[in-house]
Structure formats: C-alpha cells, structure tokens
Structure 1
Amino acid sequence: MIRTVLSLAAASLAMPAAAAEVQVTSQGPVVELAVTETVKAKPDIADVSAGVTTQAATAVEAMRANAAAMDRVVQRIRSLGIAPADIQTTGINLGAQYDYDQQTQRQVFRGYQASNRVSVTLRDVKRTGPVLDALVAAGATDIGGPSFSIDDDTAPRAQARQAAFRKAQAQATEYARWAGYNGVRLLSIDEAVNPVRPMPYAEARAASMDAKSTPVEPGLVGTSVTVAVTFEMTR
C-alpha cells in the first residue's frame, strides 16, 4: 500500500518526542509515503482448542458429567507432554434446553446442556494432526483450529521493516528527481506492525508425521510492517 502526498510549498512537520514536541521545518516540498512489506516464514507454534458438551436432566448432573468428560481430555493433553502453561480453559457454559411443540406452540423444557473448552499451544507444529486425533479419542466433541504463528517474529519483522523503509526511500528519491530535485532528507518516520497471517505454502507434510493422523498443512505465516515516512526534497 502506497499513499503519496506532494506539497509544493515549504512545510513545518511535527515529530513527537518523549518530553516535548519537536518542530522540524522543511525548506522544500515534501513527499509522504506509507509502504507495507510482508516477510513470510515457517510457523513454529500451533494453537488448537477442544471442547466437551454434555446434556442431563438437571444442571448439577450436566455439570458433573461435563467435568468428568473434560477431565479425561485434559489428562490426555498432559500425557502428550504439553506444559501446563500451554493449556488454558477458555469457556464454561451451562444453559437450559427447550424444544418447540408445534401443536401447543409452546417451548418444552428438555434438560440442561453444559460445555467446557480449553485451548492448547503446541510448540511442535508437526504434532498438530496426532494431537487433534488424540483429543477426539479422549472424548472431545468439538475441535477448533489450528491457528499457526511464530513464537518470536523479531527477525522477520526486522526484514519487513528494512524492506519497507528502503522502498519508501527509493520512491521518495524518484519523486524528487521527477520534480527536478537532487535527493531527499528524512523528516519523520512512523511504524505499525500488523498481525501475522497465514500464507499459502505448497510444501508436503513432514515425513515423520503418522500417515494415519489428521493431515495438517502449516503453510507460511506473514509478518507485515507498515512504515509511514516523510521526506523533504533537496537540491
């Protein structure tokens, strides 16, 4: 994404500082650019979720049955070597259930439904398929994910930042030359880091993954950085 604004008169640009506002005065026209660059990399984190839903005649029975079922799922997760810090309960719900009687046109109470859900962070994406299968085998009735990400995206973020700035500088220099100026001088810079997002990736599954497990393709995730810069055109 590129946004360009050319000013043919001298401009005064404000740059924020920690303690005070600094005024930077330009003597020539300015060019403002907003450039976004994305760097793709293999994910090393997979987030999945598993839920259990139970029904019973009373609220107490529904919660007890749900607790027992979820305990089996959590114990299975722990047996797979998942660290306690990577297991988190994300929702517990209990509600009355009704059926609609067409003849009487009234709601008919039929019991209670309880649900419990946990999220699990996997630090080996190749285990995603087998772990999902293990959760279902342990009694999970609802599976979510996977969502892939990079645990430490410092390196790809730095690459995206550098690429965005270099592109912005090159484009500003082009504008300056087209306008009859020799170069540019940096006046301000601002950065926005965008969330990682999945990217298509055609690599086959790892050979070590059990062929009988649920197939999971981790693909690539992209780290995006948007750099907004202002340059003064110089002679």
Structure 2
Amino acid sequence: MIRFAIPTLAAAAMASSAQAAEIQIQSPGPVVELTVSEIVRRAPDVAQIGAGVMSRAATAEAAVRMNAEAMDRVVARLRTLGIDRRDIQTSNFNLNPSFNFNRETGEQTFTGYTVNNQVNVKLRDLERTGEVLDALVAAGANNIYGPNFMLEDDVAAKAEARANAFESGRTMAEDYARMAGYTEVRLLEVSESFQRFGPRPEAMVRTASAPSRDAATPIEPGEVSTGVTITVKYEMTR
C-alpha cells in the first residue's frame, strides 16, 4: 500500500493504567506511507504432530475406558522413542453420542458414544519424523495430523526480515521524495506485524499395522518462512 498525505499532524494514542496521553508529530512536508513485507526462509528445526485415538462403544463409560487404554499405549510408545514428557501435550478430548441417520425416514438412531483424544507431539530430531509416524500407527493411533514443520526460535529470522523490510521502506520513500522534488526523508512512524508460513498440516488417517523394518515413511522437511510486514511513514524534506 502506498499513500501520500498533505501536510498534517499525525496523532498516536498511548494508553496507560492511569491515563491516556496523546503525542503529536509535526510534519510540515508531504508524508509518504508505505507497507512493506519481507520473508526469510530457513530449514525447520522442530516438527509438530497431532496423534490421537477415536474409540466407539455402547456406553460412555466403556468408550472412555477403551480410549484411555489405547492412548496409554500411544503415549508409552512415544516415551520409548525418547520423546520427553514436556514435548507431549494433550490438545483435545471430547465425548459425544453417535447416531445413524436414515435419509428416507429422517429418523436418527442412537448407536453409542464416540471418544476422541488427541496429543500434540514436538519432535526435535527431524530425521526421525517418519519413524515416529509409523510407531504411532503401530501403537494404535488412528488419527494423525501433520507433520507441521517450524522454527522453535524464530527471533533471528524475524530480525533479518525486519531489517530488510525497514531498508526497503526507506529506499522506496527516498525514491518517492526525489520524484516529488525533495532530497531527504524523515521517519515519522513505524509499526509491524508478523506472519509464519509453512506446509499446512494435512490429516493422515491410517489403519494400525506393523511398519516396515527396512524403511520409515519418507518425510521431507523443506523450508519454512517467517515474514515481517511494516508500515512506515516518512516526511519529505529538502
């Protein structure tokens, strides 16, 4: 977004717990406002997998008990793979009645209860992603989501994207100033927002079976991106 403004006063409100104060910035020259986005790409260092079990039974108690036993096996398998407890977190648990719907009569018939239990697993060794997926299926997980690759600490990537965006914004402002007959620019305001880009996690529902001993499910981490968008306002000066 590129926008020119006539000479004016720009106001920004700063709120505190006690009172709100207003800061006014004098801008006697024309103002150019620019929105600039920059993206930095990196190899991911962690992956997140959602793994869960869906169980059905005639009663709620039986469905919960059956699901708990299955999830115990899944979590125990993760622990035997060396995944720390801090990297295993329950993300969802729900119990719902199940019905069969007859389209001809419009009637619903109660069939029992369904339990879904889901954990999020953070993997720090990406080379074992395929191995972990196969192990989860073998342990009884019948709902798997991911893997979703990411940077655990993207501070450095954000800083690089921010610096690139700020430099691009100033360069563009200087270009507009020269085209408008001015020689310099003065920064008045800057704001930013962040975006994360990466492969969208896709649901994988697989039937539990013994994985091959020769090769794990092939997984390619690729790259993930961190983006910064800044909005800058510059006054054109002579």
Bin the TM-score by the shorter chain: 0.7 to 0.9
Q: 1:136 to 1:14 in 2, by over 3 A?
A: same
- Of the three residues 224, 231, 234, the one matched with 1:231 is 234
Identity %: 49
Q: The residue matched to 1:13 in structure 2 has which SS?
A: strand
1:212 corresponds to 2:215:
yes
CA displacement 1:69-126 (0-9 Å, x = unmatched): 1100010011111111111111222222222457865333322222211111111222
Query: What is the aligned length?
Result: 222
Measure, in 1, the Cα distance between the counterparts of 2:133 and 2:124: 14
Q: Which residue of 2 aligns with 1:119?
A: 120
1:15 and 1:188 in contact (8 A); partners too: no
Q: 1:57 to 1:229 in 2, by over 3 A?
A: same
Q: 1:176 to 1:211 in 2, by over 3 A?
A: farther
In the alignment, residue 109 of structure 1 is paired with which amino acid?
F
In the alignment, residue 218 of structure 2 is paired with which amino acid?
P
1:167 corresponds to 2:168:
yes
Q: Which residue of 1 aligns with 2:208?
A: none
Q: Which residue of 1 aligns with 2:142?
A: 141
In the alignment, residue 28 of structure 1 is paired with which amino acid?
G
In the alignment, residue 229 of structure 1 is paired with which amino acid?
V
* Residues 28-39 of structure 1 mapped to structure 2, 5 A cutoff: 28-39=29-40
- Of the three residues 7, 11, 15, the one matched with 2:8 is 11
Q: Which residue of 1 aligns with 2:194?
A: 193
In the alignment, residue 223 of structure 1 is paired with which amino acid?
T
Measure how far apart 1:141 and its partner are. Answer: 0.9
5+ residue gaps, structure 1: 200-209
CA displacement 1:21-74 (0-9 Å, x = unmatched): 321111211111110111111111101011112222222111111111110001
1:10 and 1:26 in contact (8 A); partners too: yes
Measure, in 2, the Cα distance between the counterparts of 1:100 and 1:21: 61
1:37 and 1:224 in contact (8 A); partners too: yes
Measure, in 1, the Cα distance between the counterparts of 2:168 and 2:121: 39
Measure, in 1, the Cα distance between the counterparts of 2:41 and 2:227: 9
1:198 and 1:219 in contact (8 A); partners too: no
Q: 1:25 to 1:100 in 2, by over 3 A?
A: closer
Q: The residue matched to 1:21 in structure 2 has which SS?
A: strand
Measure, in 1, the Cα distance between the counterparts of 2:14 and 2:62: 60
In the alignment, residue 89 of structure 1 is paired with which amino acid?
T
1:221 corresponds to 2:218:
no
In the alignment, residue 97 of structure 1 is paired with which amino acid?
S
Greater shift, 20-29 or 41-50, is seen at 20-29
5+ residue gaps, structure 2: 200-212
CA displacement 1:167-223 (0-9 Å, x = unmatched): 1101110111011111111111111122x1117xxxxxxxxxx97111111111111
In the alignment, residue 226 of structure 2 is paired with which amino acid?
T
Measure, in 1, the Cα distance between the counterparts of 2:151 and 2:105: 56
Give the alignment's TM-score, normalised by structure 1: 0.87
